[in-house]
Structure 1
Amino acid sequence: MSRRPPNSVPHRRPIARQVAVGLGLVSASLAPVTVPADDRPAGCEFAPGIEWPELRPLEGGLTEIDADHVRREGERVSATGNVQLFEADQRLDADFLEYDRAAGSARTEGDTRLFDGDLLLHTQGGEYRLDAETGEFRRIDFLVQSIPARGSAALGIQQAPHLHEFEDAEYTTCPVGNDSWWLRTRDLKLNRETGVGVARNATIRFKGVPIAYTPYISFPLDDRRKSGFLLPRAGTGGRTGFDLATPWYWNIAPNYDATFTPRIMQDRGMMLGTEFRYLQPRHNGILDVRYLPDDRQTGEDRHFAQWRHQTRITSNLNLRVNAADVSDREYFFDFGNSDRYGGSTPFLRRSADLSWNQPAFRLQTRIEDYQIVDPDLSGAGEPYQRLPQITLEAGEYLGRGLSWDLDTELVRFERDEDLSGRPVGTRLDLNPEVRWRHDTGGFFFEPAVGIRHTRYELDRQDNRPESISRTVPRASIDTGLIFERPIADGGHLQTLEPRIFYGYAPYRNQDDIPIFDTGEADFSFDNLFSLDRFVGVDRVGDTHQITTALTTRIFDQQTGRERLSLSAGQIHYLEDREVRRSPGDDPLTNSRSDLALEGRVRIGDAWDGRGSILYNRDAGETTLAAVSVGYSPRERARINVGYRQREAGARSIDQTDISVMWPVTERIDAIGRWNYSLQEERDLELLAGLQYRSCCYGIHVVARRSYGFDGTYDNSIYFQLTLDGLARFDSGVDSLLREGIAGYDARP
């Protein structure tokens, strides 16, 4: 038998009973708590140099003993010197062994190792029953391969093959030789069968400093969900002061769970959040409720509630519910982003959809309502209620390039009379279309004809007729060519794609038709090939137009990857457009649209860029410019530079946006974002932080300064600590960075 190397197990650290002042109770989250070896930084092998004992497969209940000296007296066997005992999937090494064959028990003295293929115990001797796989050992160091984890204890009791209890113990998932964090406890239980660890009177020490104490803590040993406190989230904000949240996760059943989150805000008070999730074969959903009684700033009760639910009634019939309510318009502004709503959200949408899906059609009934959450919006700007909305989408391919589509809608628009004097009523819309497509691969020709008929029955007419109808025929022809040629010695393929689109829709007077849900569409390159100048049914724009466009692309012949795409196009109007959203607006008399330019490029594997430009040739000015360039020379390294400008009256913007994620070292990433308004000459968001990934823990520190709609800045600091194998919780740092930095990849 080869002897154990001097450093084959971690040196047992003395146990110190201490009381720590921390942020709160800490336990495991429902997320996987171990980090795959491939995601750990280099040099993070858990047990380098460890010689794991080799097992010897034995059958028929055989037991083998190898030693320098063996003595047998009846059923008792004594062995000394390099003792090795093998039985089934177990191995016991010791300096001295006394084995009772009849009782199936073994007693060891001196340097002892017990290994079951996963758990390695290094002790100073004890007693062990091989048949029941139970025993008791003194002065223990242990390693667990599957977690991986290690620790030490004054006393260890094995109650079952996968159940161990340790007294005066400490536990960590840090590699051998790395003592970044320890869980020190009077009583530690590891149940590898259920995947749960439990500790009592436990102190968590990080870098030698106690950060939390709890009389009871349970944590997962694998990725199975379990109940317990999640890692606290702590930070500070200009509107909340010091902000501390300590979530508690309740694993009610495999298909039910809940998270309760007390959130203490220095300047606001204590908010309680509850999220309940459920999953059944035919339905699932989430109920999220947050309540703050007697806000210290406003003196009012504040709340947010949302219920998201979907049910599969039959294989083709489905119900979806999305209901939300907030106590006041400043809620998101004061308390930060919700999981599903941000501070810039103007409305909360509440809806219930019943959908029937068939291969040739989809029938849906919807009830929909809104709540204003933007303080700058008046009640008159609240969208109409749909009580209800019934839509039918149907279509079929008839063969030989011929197909038809039908979009039908019946909707009842309602709103509170005291909000505005705007009309209410019922709208029926029929929009059938027939098209034929001939496509040879290098040439396509696609004519289409359709008709849109809409009828209104109004209750509050607002000086309008009670019944209004409108019928508008429409026709279009879309055609184009695709030319190809090899370039760069045949390594790349270039295409040239000219395209012409003709469209016609006659003028129909629509001044008497109220505006229920219709706005003007923002012009872009995609609008070049559409007849719709409006989003919504209440206006059908008249047009007589010809669009000419040209696109060129370059592809990598070997991979088929697109390396370059450049497109340019413009609409030429043959007649003025008289239909406007507001009846008093003048007709559009320009003979051509803005010149629309669009491009994408990828140079090598590091550089990529995209851009869109709208240029008004008559005025000689750019009405929209959106350009972004990204540089990513290697994994976890990304720089984004963007610029966006749009002329739209009160909605005009002129902004730059620079963001970066860059590895400073192998384990440290620098993160930053600077969003600046050239128009207002002020910062919109400044963000700077670091994320660090060690072998057994991770740290995120982010400082943020953001400009709010009330003209003030909010300064916040986000801090997140992850202890692998013990606790992990997303404090909002990852979601904040994903929204602000394109290509952001959180360290595990």
Structure 2
Amino acid sequence: MNLRFYTIYLALLSFTEVALAANNAAWNCEQGKNGEWTCLNQGQNTPETAQPKVISPEKPAVASQQTPPAAVPQQPAAATPAQAIEHVQTNRPGEDEAAKPASKPEKLHAKISESQKPVLEKLPARSASAPQKVQNQGWTCKSGDETKNWNCNLSGPDPKGEAQIVADTETSSTWLTPAYSQQQERTFQTLRAEFEQDPWQNCSDWSAKKIKHKTTSSKDRDSADTDVTADFSEIFDGEVLSFTGNVDLNRADQHLMADKASYDTVADTMDAQGNVIYSESTLALASDTASLSLGKDQARLRKTQFINAEAPLRGTADVMYRDSKTLSRYHHASFTSCQPGNQDWVAHAERVKMNRETGKGSAKNAWLEFKGVPVLYTPYISFPIDDRRTSGLLAPTFGNTQRNGFDFAAPFYWNIAPNFDTTITPRYMEKRGGMLRNKLRYLTETSQGSLGTEILPHDELRGGTRYSASFKDNSRFTESLSTLTDLNYVSDDEYINDMNNALGFQQTNRFLPSTAYAYYSGLPKTSFSTGINHYESLDKTLTANDMPYDMLPRVNLNFGHEFEKMPISLAMNNEYTHFYHDVRVNGQRFNLAPSISTPLESSAGFFIPKITGQYTQYQFTNQATPNQPDSVSRMLPIFSVDSGLMFEKDINLGGSGYTHTLEPRAFYLYIPRKDQSDIPLFDTAAYDTNFYSLFRENRFSGVDRIQDANQITLAGTTRLIDSQTGLEPLKLSLGQVIYFQDRSVDLEYLADNRAAENSTTSNFVGEMSGQMTKHLSYSTGAQWDPIENGFSRAQGVLRYRNQPGQIFDIGYRWRNYNPADLYQFGSTDISQSDISFRWPLAAGWYGLGRWQYSFNFDKTTESFIGIEKETCCWRLRVIGRRYINGANTTNILDPDAKPENAFFVQLELKGLTSFGDQVDTFLQRNLNGYRPYDDFED
């Protein structure tokens, strides 16, 4: 015979975007096909109202025996239930000490399984040193509804005199006092012990993975045996089952304890009273009383405390009313994600209503306190209680910058439809005035994207109306056809610089790009793409001539083929681009690059000869220089051979085993010389020099310039690999290009660097890196200039990583002025240090910061300092930043460049919301090695 628990869903309040529903299962009975209920006893299959059956041991020895249902003595047919109960009460052990021999009460055990009838067994009596708790007489009280107090009945003499109604205890709320008393905290600790794993086990270490609690399915619970033990048990002829004294019920993952529990099959009600504790895999709950109406899906619980292990969250409710399966109400509710014993933040509400059918909840007189101080109050709030989106206010953001003063934004979320929503954000900047921002999102079967707009009607600092717009879309029409769109527009070139909050600003953002592309990959080894690129200035120091070309459009068609039985690889890269510029020459470029190679590769080495035919055709318009041709074509063959060997052996150094490798490599390149000075530079620039650039077929990006070459690169790499740990403490790479002829193809801004073009060798490049320990690594590099007979650049970085709390980097970069670097770095030497860290201070606090210093000008170019703390229930980040804005000056190292200051705070209450700016995003981008907390949780 099967017994199921009846589950109560106890939902919790949330003041913004989240709410938690917790399950509270007290008792449950199963109704068979014939309409009868099965609750720890065999039901009666009769249409008439069953008369109560009483287990009434006449002697203690008989009462403690196992009594099968067939041997239960029957009361006379005319007896009423009250008479039956009176009969039982007068024959209980211990009621008439003079008339009955002394005996020790014995605990009874009821066991119910799927295929057996309920059986009562006696358990060994307790010793004299452990007296039993017997509650067979006195007051029996059930919780009332919201308009009444208690429903109490007296059994036997009243030990305290006349009967009286027990009044509710009024809940007081005094600021700066603990939200939970010491007794409640002890109860939370008891509930915490109900779980196999402590829900807050890893909360002090945010790098630890989040605990995943196993859940038991309803099917497994239905088929599991149910064991009930109690000091005294009664079964009334299929109507009432009663357990009294140390009731302990177990089934599968469910556990219930109470002083007394009873189930009435006629009224279909269940009551559990006195120190009620219920737990399952992800929920633990304590209550004074629980009264359930199973047929109506109704329940009442008083003085309830709970822990939900999945969040984790804990909280209380003075009274909980379950009106139906989907509707529940709570009086004087509170919750927090802090572990028991910690009340750093607590959310409260006088009245809470949860509707699981609509997925919405509401709260009246709700407030939030942090460190005992109230920080937020609302007379009414509506919020979602599941994953369904709900319209309402989101957490505000605030900060302070030198450019805008105090900056405050209060977003409002509007759930328009299941696949459409928008966020409307009023923003106030102390120095500029009010702004309105809107971001509309959509989701269809093939597309997802957003449309964002901003408008500042009147900039009080600069004057005039300022605005911006953006459109982003990602669509996939078939498995092979997709589009990607990112369009952006601003009213002026200083808009992003002025309206940004100084956390998201990047010095490299001198242009605002807009792109829209379509991609097709339906054919094997074939890819096709077409789209547009447009650029808008974000830097007031840029002139119209400095702006990059727009590509309207760019089309690429690439395909390749490899033969199974022959080491031959074919490839074809084709491109068409229309370049457009307001003041410079416009052009259309058509480029074909077929190639064939024969890769011969094995574990011992590789040998890859390759031939490429590079054909490019140009059509020009809007020529700025007279007598220039309107059409230019160029055909160049490119021949290269890339080869390398791999040697390795095991060696012993200092008593430790290592694998030593030696990897020599040679790369030969030949490209005939061809004058290309009549071709404008549309999208071409020189690559920076490093070890891997020594093996490029073209030292220029883009195809407006193809270098002339008759050269060979000789290089090699050696490694030491720890045989036990797998770490690589040493990787050394050396290489140099040997030129067999002078180079004549260059860029306009390299015209003054002819000495380098006539040199017989390139810079000698060396790079070294290694992982010395699990936490300590390094990387260095240097280039020797044979013309100047000295180093042209060098850098080195030492990194320490003991994630997540200990991060330390110290580095130095030096670069000698070279005309080849003018386009990227300006006409100046660079001598710059960079130090960054995140390090524990005390009591869970961390210090973090970064300092970039220029020795050329003896000034700081970028710095920020801050503190951060992570606890089980909140995170706090405070950042102060001082930086030189690259959008305000041509060279951030200019002595006249003036720094700007900004200050930001972010407070996150776990399980609730976050206040302030996205400081964590800024740290991830600007503090090398910093990882957001979510990266460590899953």
The bucket for the TM-score relative to the shorter chain is 0.7 to 0.9
Alignment check: 8 A CA contact 2:873 2:909 kept: yes
Alignment match of 1:641 (pick from 810, 823, 842):
810
1:737 positional shift: 0.7
Task: Return 103-112 or 654-663, whichever deviates more.
Answer: 103-112
State whether residues 171 and 332 of structure 2, in contact with CA within 8 Å, keep that contact through their aligned partners in structure 1: no
More helix by share: 2
Q: Distance in 1 between matches of 2:810 and 2:641?
A: 39
**Other-structure match for 2:558:** 393
Is the CA contact 1:44–1:695 (under 8 Å) kept in the aligned structure 2?
no
**Matched-pair contact (CA < 8 Å) for 1:452–1:473:** yes
Structure 1 residue aligned with 2:793: 624
- The aligned counterpart of 1:16 is 173
Aligned to 2:845: 668
Match of 1:457 in 2: 619
TM-superposed deviation, 1:381: 1.5
Check the 8 A contact 2:728/2:772 in 1, yes or no.
no
* Structure 1 counterpart of 2:673: 507
Cα 1:406–1:109 change in 2 (3 A) is closer
Which shows bigger deviation, 437-446 or 653-662? Answer: 437-446
**1:236-255 correspondence runs (5 A):** 236-250=400-414
1:218/1:148 CA distance change after superposition, 3 Å: farther
Which SS does the other structure have where 1:728 is aligned? strand
Which whole-Å deviations, capped at 9, do the CAs of 1:433-462 have from their partners, x for residues lacking one? 222222232232222222212111112233
Decide whether the 8 Å contact of 1:355 with 1:365 is kept in 2: yes
Question: Per-residue deviation at 1:207?
Answer: 0.6
Please point out which of 358, 368, 374 is paired with 2:533.
Answer: 368
Which has the larger displacement, 154-163 or 547-556? 154-163
Q: Deviations over 1:525-556 (max 9, x none)?
A: 12211231211121111122121112111223
Matched, 1:552 2:696: no
Q: Is the 8 A contact 1:337 1:343 kept in 2?
A: no
The farther-off stretch of 56-65 and 105-114 is 56-65
2:96 corresponds to:
none
Partner SS, residue 563 of structure 2: strand
Letter matched to residue 335 of structure 1: M
Distance 2:915 2:879 in 1: 16
- Using the TM superposition, give the Cα deviation of residue 304 of structure 1 relative to its aligned residue in structure 2, in angstroms: 2.8
Q: What are the within-5 Å matches in structure 2 for residues 589-604 of structure 1? A: 589-604=758-773
Which shows bigger deviation, 233-242 or 63-72? 63-72
| Matching of residue 40 in structure 1 with residue 203 in structure 2 | yes
Q: 1:119 to 1:495 in 2, by over 3 A?
A: closer
Q: Which shows bigger deviation, 166-175 or 338-347?
A: 338-347
Residue matched to 1:431:
593
Quick one: structure 1 residues 182 and 191, their matched pair in 2 at CA, closer, same or farther if it must change by over 3 Å?
farther
Shift of 1:641: 0.9
Indicate if the aligned counterparts of 1:636 and 1:663 stay in contact, CA closer than 8 A: yes
Q: 1:195 to 1:671 in 2, by over 3 A?
A: farther
Deviation at 1:244, TM superposition (A): 1.9
The 1-side partners of 2:723 and 2:418 are apart by 49
Residues 682-691 or 343-352, more deviating: 343-352
**1:208 matches 2:372:** yes
Instruction: Return closer, same or farther for 1:355/1:281 CA change in 2, 3 Å cut-off.
Output: same
1:149 matched to 2:316? The reply is no
**Cα separation, 1, equivalents of 2:914 and 2:786:** 56
In 1, distance between residues paired with 2:249 and 2:796?
71
Q: Distance in 1 between matches of 2:694 and 2:279?
A: 72
Equivalent residue in structure 2 for 1:707, among 880, 884, 894? 884
Q: Give me the whole-angstrom Cα distance separating, in 1, the residues matched to 2:479 and 2:222.
A: 53
The number of residue pairs the alignment matches comes to 712
Cα–Cα, structure 1 residues 549 and 70, in superposed 2: closer, same or farther, change >3 Å? same
Q: Structure 2 CA distance, aligned partners of 1:137 and 1:525?
A: 72
Instruction: Say whether residues 1:526 and 2:712 are aligned partners.
Output: no
Alignment partner, residue 571 of structure 1: 737
Corresponding residue of 2:606: 444
- Gap change, CA 1:159 and 1:120, over 3 Å in 2: farther
Residue 186 of structure 1 aligns with which residue? 350
Gaps of 5+ in 1: 4-11, 20-34, 46-54
AA at the equivalent of 1:101: T
The one of 252, 264, 269 equivalent to 2:433 is 269
Q: Using the TM superposition, give the Cα deviation of residue 325 of structure 1 relative to its aligned residue in structure 2, in angstroms.
A: 0.8
Moved more, 284-293 or 368-377: 284-293
CA contact (8 A) 1:147 1:222 kept: no
Mapped contact 1:137–1:155 kept (Cα < 8 A): yes
For residues 750 and 337 of structure 2, what CA distance do their matches in structure 1 show? 72
Q: Is 1:166 matched with 2:166?
A: no
* TM-aligned CA deviation for residue 102 of structure 1: 0.8
Q: How does 1:644-659 map to 2 (within 5 A)?
A: 644-646=813-815, 647=817, 648-649=821-822, 650=826, 652=828, 653-659=830-836
Matched with 1:302 is 466
CA distance in 2, matches of 1:409, 1:44: 47
TM-score by length of 1: 0.86
| SS of the residue 1:737 aligns to | helix
CA distance in 1 between counterparts of 2:751 and 2:225 reads 95
Go from structure 1 to structure 2 and tell me whether the alpha carbon gap of 1:279 and 1:493 turns closer, same or farther (over 3 Å shift).
farther
1:42, distance to aligned residue in structure 2 (A): 6.5
1:637 CA displacement: 0.9
From 920, 930, 936, the counterpart of 1:734? 920
Quick check: 1:87–1:130 contact (8 Å CA) kept in 2? no
Which of 886, 892, 906 in structure 2 is aligned with 1:720?
906
1:715 and 1:541 mapped to 2: Cα distance?
46
SS in 1 for 2:292: strand
Which digits, 9 at most, give the CA deviation of each residue in 1:541-598, with x for residues without a partner?
1122121112111223356553321111111111111112229936521221111111
- Aligned letter for 2:612? G
Q: What is the aligned counterpart of 1:381 among 535, 540, 546?
A: 546
1:176 aligned partner, one-letter code: P
Q: Does 1:743 align with 2:909?
A: no
Kindly report the root-mean-square deviation, in angstroms, between the aligned alpha carbons of the 2 structures.
Answer: 3.6
Q: Which residue of 2 aligns with 1:28?
A: none
Question: CA 1:318–1:88 in 2, change beyond 3 Å: closer, same or farther?
Answer: closer
What letter matches 2:581 in structure 1? R
Please tell me whether the aligned partners of residues 44 and 175 of structure 1 are also in contact (alpha carbons under 8 angstroms): no
Say if 1:441 and 1:186 are closer, same or farther in 2 by CA, change over 3 A: same
Matched position secondary structure for 1:712? coil
CA contact (8 A) 2:199 2:310 kept: no
Q: Is the 8 Å Cα contact of residues 200 and 872 (structure 2) preserved in structure 1? A: no
Aligned to 2:81: none
- Is the 1:15–1:168 Cα contact (8 Å) retained in structure 2? no
Between the aligned partners of 2:912 and 2:546, the Cα distance in structure 1 is: 49
Report the Cα distance in structure 1 between the residues aligned to 2:630 and 2:542, rounded to whole angstroms: 30
Q: CA deviation at 1:119?
A: 5.0
Show CA shifts across 1:607-656 (max 9, x none). 11112322212203322223211012454211011222223342543221
Q: Deviations over 1:373-427 (max 9, x none)?
A: 11111112112222222222222223532212222112222223xxx2x211211
1:715-736 CA distances to partner (integer Å, 9 max, x unpaired)?
Answer: 2121111111111368221111
Determine if contact 2:207/2:804 at 8 Å carries over to the other structure.
Answer: no
- Highest Rg: 1 or 2? 2
Distance 2:509 2:207 in 1: 44
Check the 8 A contact 1:368/1:386 in 2, yes or no. Answer: yes
Matching residue within 768, 784, 799 for 1:615: 784
State how far apart, in whole Å, the 1-side matches of 2:603 and 2:200 are.
48
**What secondary structure does 2:914 align onto?**
coil
Q: How does 1:467-482 map to 2 (within 5 A)?
A: 467-482=631-646
Partner of 2:570: 404
User: Counterpart of 2:342 in structure 1: which amino acid?
Assistant: N
The one-letter code of the counterpart of 1:376 is T
Assess if the C-alpha contact under 8 Å between 1:15 and 1:184 holds in 2: no
Shift of 1:514: 1.7
SS at match of 1:562: coil
